[in-house]
Amino acid sequence: MTTPNTWQTKQNILVILAHPDDPEFFCGATLAKWAREGHRITYLLLTCGDKGFNPTTTPDMTTEKLCGIRHIEQAEAAKVIGAEPPLFMDLPDGYLIPDLNLRRDVVREIRRHKPDILVTCDPQNLFAQYGINHPDHRACGQVVLDAVFPAAGNPVYFPDLLSQGFEPHMPKEIWCSLTSQPNTTVDVTDTWEIKLQGILQHKSQVQDVDKLIERMKSRRTEDSTDESPRYEEKFRVVKYS
């Protein structure tokens, strides 16, 4: 494991993940740390998480209604973290496929926002702490990595984007969260509470606040104590500079 060096200049950071609340759950404390260091952070969510409810227990909920609610919740969570207002593609929740059409769309957004640092999730992580990793998470990570290389920085790929004014751009670093093969660890003790407060903005997804807080606080490092808990977030980082 390595701890990353502090960047010498302010970075433009683009976070591309599948659902509202993914940024906060996967890497919210790191994002909060970066925001407080003065880096610019923009979220792009591929779906609005419109299937994140159980019609048996919430019979009045619909996918359309939940989509609107989750837009609002994610905007509030982004404020807590210190990110820009979030952007959404609003693709159907649960149906993400890393095909060429979506790859083109992601390449467009990379070229539009021109991030120095791109954050996504690890497409190889089939299992997570809660069990089987959501297929949207894996599809999102796959399409983002496929968009980065070889397409985003190469004008030969998707020439229609070039004709629309989207010039090639290659991020300097790719940070894959929710990974089972990390090579970078960030100490996020100082911003763990901010991460937790960001998660709690997703009220439609938090069924039991006390249990969630207990679960998140239990994720402290093994060398922690009750008096001095310590927290980390881990990533697979690929650098191109």
Contact yes or no for 157/107 (Cβ under 8 A): yes
Structure tokens at 128: 């997570």
Region 221-235 average pLDDT: 94
- Provide the 8-state DSSP code for 151: I
Per the domain annotation, does 80 fall within a domain?
yes
Q: Total structural domains in the chain?
A: 1
174-197, pLDDT tens digit by residue?
Answer: 999 999 999 999 999 999 999 999
Contact yes or no for 20/45 (Cβ under 8 A): yes
Per the domain annotation, does 216 fall within a domain?
yes
State the chain's mean pLDDT as an integer. Answer: 95
Residue 163 and residue 171: Cα distance in Å, rounded?
21
Q: Which helix (H) or strand (E) holds 86?
A: none
Per the domain annotation, does 159 fall within a domain?
no
Per the domain annotation, does 163 fall within a domain?
no
pLDDT confidence of residue 4: 54
CATH number of 47's domain = 3.40.50.10320
* Amino acid at the residue 104: R
Using 50, 70 and 90 to split pLDDT, how confident is the model at 5?
A: low
Region 103-113 average pLDDT: 98
Residue 75 and residue 87: Cα distance in Å, rounded?
9
Per the domain annotation, does 138 fall within a domain?
yes
139-173, pLDDT tens digit by residue?
Answer: 999 999 999 999 999 999 999 999 999 999 999 99
pLDDT of residue 113 exceeding 60, the answer is yes
- Distance in Å from the first CA to the final CA of the chain: 20
74-84, pLDDT tens digit by residue?
Answer: 999 999 999 99
Per the domain annotation, does 1 fall within a domain?
no
Cβ-based neighbour number of residue 87 at 10 Å: 17
> Radius of gyration (Cα) for the chain, nearest Å?
18
Give me the domain span that covers residue 36.
12-105+113-150+169-239
Region 41-63 average pLDDT: 94
- For 209, residues 6+ apart whose C-beta sits below 8 A from its C-beta are 200
Residue bearing the bigger pLDDT, 129 or 221: 221
Residue 25 and residue 14: Cα distance in Å, rounded?
16
Per the domain annotation, does 164 fall within a domain?
no
DSSP-derived secondary structure for 158-217? -HHHHHTT------SEEEEES-SS--EEEE-GGGHHHHHHHHTT-GGG-S-HHHHHHHHH
Per the domain annotation, does 158 fall within a domain?
no
pLDDT of residue 1 exceeding 70, the answer is no
